[in-house]
Structure 1
Amino acid sequence: MVIVSFCDDRDSSAADPASTKRSITGGDQIDASLSNANAHLIRIDAQPGDYVRGQFSGRGVTLSLVDEQGNHQRRLANGTGSKESFYFIHNDGAPYRLKVQAGVPGATDAEYTLNFSEIIPKADQVATQSPPASPRLRTLQVELLRSATSDVRRSKLIETFWDTIRQQGTPLVEFDSVRPPLGEDQALVTFLYRGAKHRVQVFSAPSGNHDEMQRLGDSDVWYASYRVPRTARIGYKIAPDVPRFAGSFWEQRRAILATAQLDPLNPNSFPERPIDRFAGESIIALPDAPHSKWLDRQANVPAGSVQRHEFSSEILGNRRDVYLYRPFGYAPEKPGNGLLVVFDGRRYLEDVSTAEVLDRLIFAGEIIPTAAILISNPSSASRAEELPCNPKFASFLSEELLPWAEHQQVTAEREKTVVVGASYGGLAAAYMGLKLPQLFGHVYSQSGSFWWSPGSKPGVPQAAPQWLTRQYAKDDKSNVRFRLEAGHFEDHGETSIFDSTRHLRDVLEAKGYDVDHQEYATGHGYYYWRHTFPDGLIAILGKR
């Protein structure tokens, strides 16, 4: 609400006969005539920063903003006779006045209409928030707006909300009353956090990025919602109050690691018992997410053996741990044995439970007796250098490691030898299929980094991406079979694992390769790969 009063510019104390001093609110209208006056000055007794918008109509008269001394500040309407809209912010200094003036000096009986469509005080100029997609949050939003004048009522509503969330756990998973409606195969997953001061981010899934969470009004409820397939499996962290500072893009991006932690309201994590709240990740599997029974503990399954060896490479000039898995009752010279050669060996042993999965699959008769060579990395730096399509690493395998493993009586025919890896390891596995087809009959790539090209880095645009796919396109076909897997949540622009895996599949099939290509509602990480690993082994080495 504002107070307006009329006078003409000849005598600022004389009230205009057409109007009196009165309150004006949004939607009010003034109809007046200049009569014999040269102009009307309309005082606006409003607060600095108030937003005023309206409409003016009057033929041959203009509407302007002037300051206290009558100096022109802004033309609002030109007097065309039709309705003209105007907008302004009330002055922070001396108050404005509206000046209605005849366009032709000496004109009389000029009628005009001034409509104040909306007057918004500065205190009420807050960004409106769209209704959340989540029906539960939408209900809370409406309840909080209805209780805007009662702090006690608002506090009780929020506490009741969080009490319910603590009982049922996070994230929220909803199927009905979502806006806009979900598809039949979709669910809405909403991540929640309480206690942040400035900002909160969802780290990793399902976008695979660092996503800003929204705040529900001025409450302590932070949220981010995603439409995902009902078969989705999601691993994530919550990062409250990530620091902002002057630094490079990558320095600022890595700052999320300072606060990224387990979701305090989600009891499920991977691994099951992390050493602290900053280790591992929170997880959720939607009701239709496929579960592999081969990850479950089973009684009476005889365990194979795992031996750690420290292996020194002259070709690579470093040392690393290599683990040899032999199944229970392993007969090294028996025809029909299988062999896995696995990159990121320690991670596959610990996070994928490779030895236990092999024990169960072999005991159940799902796959042939299969040994494994699990190759670890000396460091993260060496991994980034050795695994992405490195000829020296291929020589290390063919000239040093595999001959040594044969002396350890861990070997198999080429047709039953599988090279396995994930991410850079999946890229390396496919590279070995190109460079060492005489040693490997099968390539098993989980989320292979096929976006890679020499000199590239994750997230950095490339002039000539997907180097390995281009090599397969131009080289002669060999007798290697492929199992390729990728997740729907691994689709990130120019470094999209999802798209680049599809492209490799298309190129391989065009060349005549045998390709088993699988896609899942998953992201990037061992939590996902462990669930698809048993099915991949059955597809490659299964007795049936």
Structure 2
Amino acid sequence: MVRRLAILLLALVVLEPLAAAERAYVGQLDAQGGKRIPLSLNAGDYLTGELPGAGLGLDLQDTEGAHLRRLVPSQGGRRSFMLVAPAGGTFRLQLSGAPAADYRLELQPVVPLTAQRAPKERLASPRLRALQDELARGGDSEAFWREMAVRGTPLVEALDAQQDRVTFLWRGARHNVRLFGGPGYEHAALQRLGDSDVWFKTFELPRQTRLSYQLAPDVPELDADAMTRRRAILATAQADPLNRGAFPERGPDAYQYDSVLELAEAPPQPWIAPRPGVARGSLQRHSFASMALGNTRSVYLYRPAGYRPGAKGNALLYLFDAEAYLGKVSTPTILDNLIAAGQIPPTAVVLIDNPSPQSRAAELPPNPDFAHFLGEELTPWLRRQGISAAAERTVIGGSSYGGLASAYAALRYPQVFGNVLSQSGSFWWAPPGGEAQWLTREYIAAPRLPLRFYLEAGQFEGGVGQSGIFETTRHLRDVLRAKGYPVIHREWASGHDYLNWRGTLADGLIALLGRPQG
């Protein structure tokens, strides 16, 4: 009997632990309700385990029995634990509970500090995955950058029948790289590939995408307010050195222009370039002093070739942000081409400049004084210049705040402006302390007016944490249609971007002026 008991006790010793890989300990506590298990750890080792039995506790002690940490409380609480060894050496795990209580302690394999690393990220771009593997084998990025110099950037790789993977790249920044523009507002951060000189950010984009962008390496980190920190990107934002496209055109240095991304199915922009044989209209600059606003600004008058004041069928276009619509958007050329092709009737244009950035921010968001300037100062002056059209053949338009101003001016002066052309209008706007989408609610409250609308927005203009231009343009569309307004609504794979607006201006004019009114 004694010999059989000895064999049984020996078997229990062998079963503790059960297996080295699992490090599972089973048995019974001693007569005092305890059990000590020695444990050797190196500093920084990561250990996890579980003590599933109820009524059992587990502490970490030093070799002298001094308490270091309670890992599992005996009553209630979590039955699993995680710890990082505070120093190297021998410790012990102290089990406690009722005398002779059964226990099972399961320990996962120790993860040494030298083995603690994040899993290798699976990169979305197949080409970058190949580069990642090359770097892991001890190679470098030289061949990759030579390839990109020939291929051009961004790196475009097919994803499926509708989308491409587009990877923006920068070489050799020290601290950070930000994307200025592109598919979003949030100055997306590029990621460094290991410790190489490759910085990257990959997006999945529709094949219809058209956008402009810059890249900003080593943007300063400032101890300042959020807007100051955000604007610091302008200190380093510049064209992509490996991108051959430029918008509006290459300037004296890379900080003066944007780079261009146009995927394979980006809509054509057939009206933006001068055409042989198309007669050019005239453009005159005037200085206009407003009594309502107490300031003076430049206004530009475009008259198409052969324009006849007062002729039946003449149309008129009011456009805000004259500098942009004469520079980044070649408005006179677009009008020349559309009129020569019979897409729209003879259309004069008044392009309204901003006296200053501050005045733009004060005037273009809904402002009764600015609406008065448009309807009761500028419009009579235009008539004296021989430029006029009936309200149903008059379009007021612009982008961003200009789209917002257009919809507001038409609400205030429908007898002057019968058509609204909004390119990514800022319909999220609210006056200080007011509720968002103020102008949309004004249209809800107002009676239906004799107005027609062309509204457009980019898919990359969605809000982050609140409704953005994309969503609020849709909301205005729904409100207007519910009230019975004729609305043409377009959405593009683009951002807040004159590169797209220069093409879609023609779409808006054809939609509003190139079809029978009604």
TM-score interval, smaller chain:
0.7 to 0.9
Cα 1:27–1:371 change in 2 (3 A) is: same
Partner of 2:47: 52
Cα shift at 1:58: 9.3
1:118 offset after TM fit, Å? 2.6
* Cα deviation digits, residues 354-404 of structure 1 (max 9, x gap): 001111111122211111111100001001111111111111122221211
Paired residue for 1:42, among 28, 38, 41?
Answer: 38
Secondary structure of 1:235's partner? strand
Distance in 1 of aligned mates of 2:496 and 2:54: 67
Distance 1:514 1:60, change over 3 A: closer
**CA distance in structure 1 between the partners assigned to 2:114 and 2:327 by the alignment:** 57
Letter in 2 for 1:261: Q
2:324 is the alignment partner of 1:328: no
Q: Which residue of 2 aligns with 1:489?
A: 460
For the pair 1:164 / 2:135, whether they are aligned, the reply is no
Write the distance in 2 (CA, Å) between the matches of 1:429 and 1:387. 8
| C-alpha spacing 1:59/1:308, structure 2 compared with 1 (3 Å) | closer
Residue 133 of structure 1 corresponds to which residue in structure 2?
A: 124
Corresponding residue of 1:359: 336
Q: Deviations over 1:422-452 (max 9, x none)?
A: 1111111111111111111211111111111
CA gap of 1:527–1:25, structure 2 versus 1, over 3 A, is: farther
Work out whether residues 312 and 320 of structure 1, in 8 Å CA contact, stay in contact via their aligned partners in 2.
Answer: yes
Q: Provide the C-alpha distance between the structure 2 equivalents of 1:500 and 1:478, rounded to a whole number of angstroms.
A: 21
3-state SS of 1:440 partner: coil
Deviations, residues 278-303 of structure 1 (Å, cap 9, x unaligned): 22322201111101111133212211
1:40 deviates by 4.7
Is the contact made by 1:68 and 1:95 (CA closer than 8 Å) also made in structure 2? no
Amino acid at match of 1:187: D
Does the Cα contact within 8 Å between 1:54 and 1:115 map onto a contact in 2? yes
Partner residue, 1:498: 470
Structure 2 gaps, min length 5: 1-11
* Alignment partner, residue 487 of structure 2: 515
Question: Are 2:95 and 1:123 aligned?
Answer: no
Query: Given the two structures, how large is their TM-score scaled by the length of structure 2?
Result: 0.87
Q: TM-score, normalised by structure 1?
A: 0.83
Q: Deviations 1:448-469 (Å, cap 9, x if unpaired)?
A: 11111212xxxxxx75111111
CA contact (8 A) 1:417 1:441 kept: yes
Do the aligned residues in 2 keep the contact of 1:368 with 1:543 (CA within 8 Å)?
no
Per the alignment, do residues 381 and 112 of structure 1 end up closer, same or farther by CA in structure 2, a change over 3 Å counting? same
Report the RMSD for the aligned CA atoms in angstroms: 3.0
1:34-433 residue pairs with structure 2 within 5 A? 40=36, 42-44=38-40, 46-54=41-49, 64-76=59-71, 85-92=80-87, 95-99=89-93, 103=97, 116-144=107-135, 147=136, 153-156=137-140, 158-176=141-159, 184-433=161-410
- Looking at structure 1, the residues matched to 434 and 237 of structure 2 have their Cα atoms a distance apart, in angstroms, of 33
Letter in 2 for 1:277: A
Q: Tell me by how many angstroms 1:85 deviates.
A: 4.8
Instruction: Give the Cα–Cα distance (whole angstroms) in 2 for the partners of residues 29 and 285 of structure 1.
Output: 60
Counterpart contact for 1:25–1:116, Cα < 8 Å? no
In 2, Cα distance between equivalents of 1:438 and 1:393: 16
Q: Is the 8 A contact 2:458 2:492 kept in 1?
A: yes
Please say if residues 215 and 222 of structure 1, whose CA atoms lie closer than 8 Å, have aligned partners that are also in contact. yes
Q: Distance in 1 between matches of 2:53 and 2:494?
A: 64
* Pairwise CA distance, 1:53: 2.7
**How much does 1:327 deviate?**
0.9
Q: How many residues are aligned here?
A: 497
Structure-2 separation of matches of 1:199 and 1:208: 17
Structure 1: gaps of 5 or more residues = 1-16, 148-152, 177-181, 456-461
Distance in 2 between residues matched to 1:319 and 1:504, nearest whole Å: 33
Q: From the superposition, tell whether residues 194 and 123 of structure 1 become closer, same or farther in structure 2 (CA, over 3 Å).
A: farther
Q: Is the 8 Å Cα contact of residues 239 and 261 (structure 1) preserved in structure 2? A: yes
